[in-house]
Amino acid sequence: MRKAKTVRRAVVTRLDSFGDVLLAGPAVRAVAARAEHVTLLCGPRGAPAARLLPGVDEVLVWDAPWGGFDPPAVDRAGIDALADRIDADTGLILTSFHQSPLPTALVLRLAGVGYLAADSVDYPGSLLDLRHRRAPHAHEAEAALELAEAAGFPRPDDGRLRVLEPPATTELTGPGPYVVLHPGASVPARAWSPERCAEAVRELTAAGHRVVVTGGPGERALTARVAGEHALDLGGRTAAPELAGVLAGAGAVVTGNTAPAHLAAAVGTPVVSLFAPVVPAERWRPYGVPYVLLGDQDAPCADSRARECPVPGHPCLNSVTGTDVAAAVDKLLGEA
């Protein structure tokens, strides 16, 4: 492990999605405990999450040509402009287990960052000062913390996900207890069907729960369909801070392997996780809160990283019923 010391300016990078940036949060706090200034370099989809993280002094947003679902073309002028904006002496490059940190490392070297650390299975040449090897089955949040510690930034707290204090949202949700169901997902293979979601709303309501349905601006038709006459529809009505507040007020959150699962964990709310096995649950499950994992983890799509389900009928998730979800919610609420 690198000897711990105070760093003048650090840059932490996590270039993919909202949920990925939230999972980087504990490592960001570790860096912030020993750095005078922390810049978080992230992609456009991760920027709203970056602005919620404690310990971040500056957010730089850049759409990298080696990340995302629809990456831009390589633009030398854009890379040069980014390199000119980065002012740091130390860099921590956070990636998923299947991503290479080396393109980002090259940009940070061009920006003059003197010390760089990352997990890498590839030979880095002079691009990295610390080529770390992550534990084979580590959760993404744990892997980031272990890299930070190896780079001289030991964990300063319990290592759980956190966000800045969310706003009060009683005006949105109304008074009294409720359960949140979030039906959408950024990747179709990770989404429970609308029919099953609507079934779960009915089952939860019949069991005596008040249900709040959440979703982004582009998901209003979906949330209206799922909420029906039984639930409160907040589709398109919550930006990231407000969504954090709504999730914080819930007794439990029902969602797929998508950003709200990690945001719920960051505000301490238990999660019923409808987890499609296209990525491993051991790396991406809700972190640091009570959870129930539903879905066939041995389905043919396991570990495929498929965006569209390769199996007709999406059985890994659609075999889960509304009754299963209602039972899982009751289990979590009974443990609270």
188 and 304 part of one domain: yes
Instruction: Provide the number of structural domains found in the chain.
Output: 2
Q: 290, 332 in Cβ contact below 8 A?
A: yes
The pLDDT of residue 60 is above 90: yes
Mark whether 137 and 197 lie in a shared domain: no
pLDDT in tens, 286-312: 999 999 999 988 888 888 888 888 888
Rounded-to-10 torsion of CA 57, 60, 66, 72 = 160
> In this structure, are 193 and 331 located in the same domain?
yes
Report which residue type is found at 280. Answer: P
User: Are 197 and 247 in a shared domain?
Assistant: yes
Alpha-helical regions (H) of the chain: 18-32, 47-50, 76-85, 102-110, 140-150, 170-173, 194-206, 220-227, 240-248, 259-266, 281-284, 315-318, 322-335
**Does residue 234 carry a pLDDT above 70?**
yes
User: Residue 159 falls within a domain, yes or no?
Assistant: no
Q: Is pLDDT at 329 greater than 70 in this prediction? A: yes
126 and 190 part of one domain: no
* Residue 293 β-bridge partners: 273
Q: 197 and 100, same structural domain?
A: no
Q: Which residues contact 333 (CB under 8 A, 6 or more apart)?
A: 251, 252, 270
pLDDT, mean of residues 256-266: 96
Q: What pLDDT shows up at residue 97?
A: 81
Tell whether 1 is covered by a domain. no
CA dihedral 33, 34, 36, 37 (to 10 degrees): -70
Do residue 210 and residue 119 come from a single domain? no
Co-location of 174 and 145 in the same domain: no
Q: Tell me, what's the pLDDT at 6?
A: 74
Last residue of a domain, one of 150, 180, 211: 150
In this structure, are 281 and 225 located in the same domain? yes
Mean of the per-residue pLDDT values of the chain: 94
pLDDT over threshold 90, residue 2: no
Number of Cβ within a 10 Å radius of residue 326: 24
Task: Give residue 336's pLDDT.
Answer: 67
Residue 218 lies in a domain: yes
What is the model's pLDDT at position 303? 83
Q: Can you give 155-174 as a three-state secondary structure string?
A: CCCCCCCCCCCCCCCHHHHC
* pLDDT mean over 158-185: 96
Its domain, for residue 201, covers 170-335
Whole-angstrom distance, CA of residue 87 vs CA of residue 306: 37
Is residue 64 assigned to a domain?
yes
pLDDT band at 219, cuts 50/70/90?
very high
CB 274 within 8 A of CB 295: yes
In this prediction, residue 143 carries a pLDDT of 97
Evaluate whether residue 161 is within a structural domain: no
Q: Are residues 119 and 203 in the same domain?
A: no
Q: Compute the distance between CA of residue 191 and CA of residue 35 in angstroms, rounded to an integer.
A: 39
Q: What average pLDDT does the segment 260-266 reach?
A: 98
As separate numbers, helices (DSSP H) first and strands (DSSP E) second, the chain gives 13, 12
Taking 80 as the threshold, does the pLDDT of residue 3 lie above it?
no
Residue 69 scores a pLDDT above 90: no
Identify the pLDDT of residue 314.
Answer: 86
Quote the pTM value.
0.96
Chain centroid offset of residue 117 CA: 21
Show the tokens assigned to 67: 């990340």
Supply the DSSP symbol for 249: T
Say if residue 283 is in the same domain as residue 142: no
Residue 187 confidence (pLDDT): 85
Domain-embedded: residue 160: no
- Domain containing residue 79: CATH number: 3.40.50.2000
Last residue of a domain, one of 85, 120, 150: 150
pLDDT-derived band at 4, boundaries 50, 70, 90: low
DSSP state of 193: P
- Residue corresponding to tokens 């930006």: 239
Q: Is the dihedral of CA 76, 82, 85, 91 positive or negative?
A: negative
Please report whether residue 79 resides in a domain. Answer: yes
Least confident of 26-40, 50-64, 69-83, 259-273: 69-83
Cβ neighbors of 131 (< 8 A, separation 6 or more) are 118, 120, 124
Last residue of a domain, one of 93, 122, 150: 150
Overall average pLDDT of the 33-40 stretch? 97
The answer to whether residue 18 is domain-embedded is yes
82 & 16 share domain: yes
pLDDT at 5 > cutoff 80: no
Whether pLDDT at 52 is above 80: yes
